A and B are shown apart, each in its own frame.
Chain A
Amino acid sequence: MTMDPILEAKEVCQYFGGVHAVEGLSLQVHSGEIYGIIGPNGSGKSTFFNALTGIYRPSSGRFILDGKDITGLEPHVIVRHGITRTFQNLRTFASMTVLENVIIGQHVQQKVGLVDALFRTPRFSAEEKACRERALETLNLVGLSALVDHLASEMSYGQQKRLEMARVLAGGARVLLLDEPTAGIPFADATELMKLIRRIRDERGTTIIVIEHSMQVMTALADRMMAMDRGRKIAEGIPKDVLQDPAVIVAYLGEE
Chain B
Amino acid sequence: MATRSRFPALPRWVTDRRFIGLLVLAVVIVLPAFIGHSGILMRVLCLIFINALLALGLMVITGYTGMLNMGHAAFYGIGAYIAAVLALRFHQPFLTCLVASGAGAGLAGLIIAIPCLKVGSDFLSLITIAFAELFQTVVLNWMDVTRGPMGLPGIPNIVIANVTFDNYYRLYYLFLAIAVVIYVGLSNIVNSRIGRSLKAIRDDEICARAQGIDVRYYKVLAFVLGTIPAGIAGALIAFLVQFVGAATFNLDASLILMNMVILGGLGSLPGALIGAAFFVGFTELIRFLNIYRIGVGGVIMVLLMLFRPQGIMGSRAFAGVGGFENVIRRWWQKRHSSPRTRPAKTAGP
Contact = CB atoms under 8 A, between A and B. Distances in A.
Interface of A: 53-55, 74-76, 79-80, 84-85, 87, 91-96, 100, 103-105, 107-108, 110, 112, 114, 117-120, 124, 128, 148-149, 151-154, 167, 171
Nearest to A87: B207
B213 A76 contact: yes
Contacts, number: 106
A117 B189 contact: yes
Nearest to B185: A118
B210 interface: yes
Contacts of A87: 207, 210
Contact of A112 (B4, B193, B211, B212): B193
Interface in B199-252: 199-200, 202-204, 206-215, 221
Contacts of B2: 148-149
B193 A117 contact: yes
Q: Using C-beta atoms within 8 Å of the partner chain, give the interface range for chain B.
A: 20 to 34
Contact of A107 (B3, B197, B317): B197
B192 A124 contact: yes
Contact of A91 (B1, B199, B204, B317): B204
Nearest to B214: A76
Contacts of B193: 107, 110, 112, 117
- 6 smallest CB-CB distances across A and B, nearest first, come from A79-B212, A117-B192, A108-B212, A91-B207, A95-B317, A75-B209
A79 B188 contact: no
A65 to B, nearest CB: 14
B188 to A, nearest CB: 5
B212 A80 contact: yes
Main secondary structure of the interface of B (DSSP, over half): helix
Given A117-B188, A118-B188, A94 B317 contact: yes
A96 B210 contact: no
Interface string B249-281: 000000000000000000100000000000000
Contacts of B211: 76, 79, 84, 104-105, 107-108, 167, 171
Contact of A149 (B3, B197, B210, B215): B3
Contacts of B210: 53, 75, 79, 84-85, 87, 91
